[in-house]
Amino acid sequence: MASSFTTNLRIEKPADGEKDGTWGQVINANITEMFEDAISAETSISTTGGTTVLTTNNGTADTSRNVFLDVSGTLVSNSTISIPSLNKFYLVRNGTGGSFTVTIKPSGTGAVVVQGETAIVYCDGTDCFEIGMGGFTITAFSKTLLDDTTAGAWMTTLGITSYMQTLLDDANEATLHATMNLEIGTDVQAWDTQLDDIAALAVTDGNFQVGDGSNWVAESGVTLRTSIGVDYATQAEQETGTATDKVIAPGTQQHHASAAKVWGFVDRSAGTPSLSSPSLNISGVTDDGSANTIVSIGTDFSTAIYAVGANGVDINRVASPNTLTVGAFDVFINDTQSTDLDTASFTCWAFGDQ
């Protein structure tokens, strides 16, 4: 019986009793070498385009059995490498030039191997496919990386700047901080719990951040003034007039001894007194029936002992305060001959304790 051959690699299978005395030659030439070709041999293909058909021989060397297909040449048209319609893996390198494609196939669509790349291609007997995501490729750039002999050369090939290289080769976190000028306590403030407390404070309009002796708190209004030692003067402190650590509010400033408690302009040009605006702390003015004007005070004095002044606004008119009570005083006007006048206007004012 004659020898047969395997389907995909065309390896000789001697029949029983055949090849008597020649087994050595058959094993070496037709079996062992064929397996070696299928595992490691190379087929060099130089082409300018068109179709290149790989040979198939039973039991002897051919170009389609070899595992590595090295395609080269300057293409002037697309190139097709025609392989047998058999199940087999190939490692294909496209080393061609020219703006055309290299396709590996028995029929069907085939697998296109990109120029400058090496791909693993599998034939299923009908069509070819690259293995994996886009095939296993070794680009020229990847080869450059593999050729680099130092970390610095490798990073330079990758386009990593010299500054970034100094960061990547830092041995520990402390060295990295120093390189980046981010040393804690020198370049940046160290974290502590009170920083978290400050960040958690309410951002309400009018709030201030103050220390309370143990932590930071948000305060406003009276609480804030007390914390920073700024308080409004009370009426008693205004009246005493000796405190040097208080601030004065408009509502209490009149309690100081230097401030007028009453002032106003009384118009008697028509005979009947009327209070002109503006004025301070005068609740009303009336005629007592004898040409005197009674000035009523809004907020009474604490005692009937206070200072009152008045001045006639017309020439040769004398305004004189008269009877004083805690809630009123009267003013009479006369001329230089001491004649009482009931049509003379005047200004008045008063100082004292309320």
Q: What angle do CA 203, 208, 211 make, to 5 degrees?
A: 115
Answer for the pair 79, 100: CB distance below 8 angstroms, yes or no.
Answer: yes
What are the structure tokens assigned to 132, written together?
């994996």
Q: Are residues 121 and 161 in the same domain?
A: no
Q: Which of 60, 64, 150 is nearest to 106 (CA)?
A: 64
Phi and psi torsions of 257, nearest 5°: -60, -25
Task: Tell me the mean pLDDT in the region 192-204.
Answer: 81
270 pLDDT band, cuts 50/70/90, is confident
Q: Are residues 41 and 134 in the same domain?
A: yes
Identify whether 69 is part of a domain. Answer: yes
User: Beta strands 282-287 and 293-297: pairing type?
Assistant: antiparallel
Q: Are residues 148 and 125 in the same domain?
A: no
Task: Tell me the mean pLDDT in the region 49-67.
Answer: 92
Identify whether 103 is part of a domain. Answer: yes
Instruction: State residue 222's pLDDT score.
Output: 72
Instruction: State residue 227's pLDDT score.
Output: 72
Instruction: State residue 183's pLDDT score.
Output: 84
Identify whether 38 is part of a domain. Answer: yes
Partnered with residue 5 across adjacent β-strands are: 12
134 pLDDT band, cuts 50/70/90, is very low
Q: Are residues 59 and 174 in the same domain?
A: no
CA distance 90 to 124: 12
What are the structure tokens assigned to 352, written together?
């004292």
CA distance 163 to 198: 36
Helix/strand/coil percent split, the chain, to 5: 20, 30, 50
User: Beta strands 317-325 and 307-312: pairing type?
Assistant: unpaired
- Count of structural domains within the chain: 3
Phi and psi torsions of 241, nearest 5°: 70, 30
Lowest-confidence pick of 33-37, 173-177, 246-250, 254-258: 246-250
Instruction: State residue 344's pLDDT score.
Output: 82
Q: Which runs of consecutive H residues, i.e. helices, occur in the chain?
A: 23-25, 33-40, 140-147, 151-157, 162-168, 173-179, 193-200, 221-227, 235-240
Return the amino acid letter for 178: A
Q: What angle do CA 343, 344, 347 make, to 5 degrees?
A: 140
Identify whether 215 is part of a domain. Answer: no
CB within 8 Å of 189: residues ≥ 6 apart: 195
Identify whether 14 is part of a domain. Answer: yes
Answer for the pair 9, 65: CB distance below 8 angstroms, yes or no.
Answer: yes
Q: Are residues 116 and 68 in the same domain?
A: yes
Return the amino acid letter for 241: G
Q: Are residues 29 and 90 in the same domain?
A: yes
Q: Are residues 133 and 102 in the same domain?
A: yes
Identify whether 194 is part of a domain. Answer: no
Identify whether 218 is part of a domain. Answer: no
pLDDT greater at residue 171 or residue 110: 110
Identify whether 203 is part of a domain. Answer: no
Task: Tell me the mean pLDDT in the region 71-77.
Answer: 97
302-329 pLDDT, tens digit per residue, is 999 999 988 888 766 777 888 899 999 9
Instruction: State residue 160's pLDDT score.
Output: 83
Instruction: State residue 308's pLDDT score.
Output: 92
Partnered with residue 133 across adjacent β-strands are: none
70 pLDDT band, cuts 50/70/90, is very high
Q: Are residues 16 and 51 in the same domain?
A: yes
Q: Are residues 13 and 133 in the same domain?
A: yes
CA distance 273 to 310: 14
Task: Tell me the mean pLDDT in the region 17-25.
Answer: 65
Answer for the pair 110, 103: CB distance below 8 angstroms, yes or no.
Answer: yes
Instruction: State residue 231's pLDDT score.
Output: 76
Answer for the pair 306, 281: CB distance below 8 angstroms, yes or no.
Answer: no
Q: What angle do CA 284, 290, 293 make, to 5 degrees?
A: 25
**Residue numbers of the domain that contains 40:** 1-138
Q: Is residue 286 over pLDDT 90?
A: yes
Q: Are residues 113 and 37 in the same domain?
A: yes
273: domain CATH number?
2.60.40
Lowest-confidence pick of 22-26, 43-47, 178-182, 184-188: 22-26
Q: Are residues 53 and 175 in the same domain?
A: no
53: domain CATH number?
2.60.120
What are the structure tokens assigned to 148, written together?
């680099």
